[in-house]
Structure 1
């Protein structure tokens, strides 16, 4: 009985901390898009079932950074009606969580036409971006050549970030939920990206199985 009480108090403290982080995020955010895909099979309707968040990647287990993001997942799970516990041995549901961001790719664009345009040496100017894996050459940042009509050509890096979340029944190991959220941004800071992606994951949770939806989360450079 004492262990359960301790778990409850610990879970409540984590939820309170995560709630403050989420409120701070929402207070100063403007939206950008995240794509969220969710699948479920016999996920129990939330009615107080206990759960624990664990690292899907063993290399993240026990890490201070992972624990911070796990607290945010705990907060969101508690908001929809599940009950967090500190010890996975006491949980009815095991929530496996992972996150990451890639090394980025360069995006090139041109300005000087009254609105943003993008230039490809193969297709000319358009309102759509061209993607470049090559960071050198004449299209590098700041290139300007009057032969092409005088636009300023600049480049910036775009990163793809994502989270994975899986929920298993602790008693049988049966998988009852899988979800992914991905976003493009000009930031590669996980401490900014992961909370936003978790928020996107839980918007309309658990969603329609097999459906991918686009959900708004907050970009760093407009805070």
Structure 2
């Protein structure tokens, strides 16, 4: 009985590093890819005013869009561009849009390492290939895992691709002066977390070098961790 209790204590202690490793993995920042292009974008203080509008008409007038437009306005104000009272009064129209996909499934190891398994290509042994076949997830193709020993060291999780687009046009002529995209892949699908970070990435070293794509680290989402007794 004492021996069993000793093994139980050892097992309980052995799981602590695994739990901590899992929490550390969850806290890993995701990366935002930012691409920006510009053509004669006026510098702050040159007498140009701006107004943020929805690039997608379906978002115009929505409370959600207004919340995220405030983030863009804060960044434009920080740079020194004055905000106009209305689109008609602005010399620059900042067109803003955001989106997130339905997510796609991925597979990762949880500690048990099979030398024949790759989470991207399945098992290399021929008789396992029937369990790993392509499936369609939303807009992209992924791979579904059907091995009967799936729970023996592997787990599936969902990743989401989110993105924002921003364009700056001259209001009088419609001339395009700037356009940029920021995109990230993460395990979170909460726009309230993703959009503010993507906006921050968009305005990092704004307006950037035209035609250059940068990878910018985004802070991980803070989550409440419940202590286990």
Settle same-fold status: TM greater than 0.5: yes
Stretch of structure 1 that moved more, 197-206 or 211-220: 211-220
The answer as to 2:110 corresponding to 1:138 is no
TM-score, structure 2 length as denominator?
0.71
1:73–1:123 distance in 2 versus 1, CA, 3 Å = farther
Look up the SS of the partner of 2:217 in the other structure: strand
- Residue in 2 that maps onto 1:49: 48
5+ unaligned residues in a row in structure 1: which ranges? 1-28, 125-130, 145-150
The aligned runs of 1:1-223 (5 Å cut-off) are 31-47=29-45, 49-112=48-111, 118-119=118-119, 120-123=121-124, 133-135=142-144, 137-138=146-147, 143-144=150-151, 152-221=153-222
Look up the SS of the partner of 1:72 in the other structure: helix
Distance in structure 2 (CA, Å) of the matches to 1:63 and 1:123: 50
Contact 1:34 1:197 in 2 (8 A): yes
Distance in structure 2 (CA, Å) of the matches to 1:51 and 1:143: 54
The Cα shift of 1:199 comes to: 0.2
Distance in structure 2 (CA, Å) of the matches to 1:122 and 1:136: 10
1:220–1:46 distance in 2 versus 1, CA, 3 Å = same
- Residue in 1 that maps onto 2:20: none
Distance in structure 2 (CA, Å) of the matches to 1:92 and 1:123: 60
Contact 1:56 1:97 in 2 (8 A): yes
Q: How many residues align?
A: 179
Distance in structure 2 (CA, Å) of the matches to 1:152 and 1:211: 40
Distance in structure 2 (CA, Å) of the matches to 1:171 and 1:44: 14
1:72–1:135 distance in 2 versus 1, CA, 3 Å = same
In our comparison, the structure showing a higher alpha carbon Rg is 2
Contact 2:29 2:219 in 1 (8 A): yes
| 1:98-126 Cα deviation digits (max 9, x unpaired) | 00000011110112259xx95342448xx
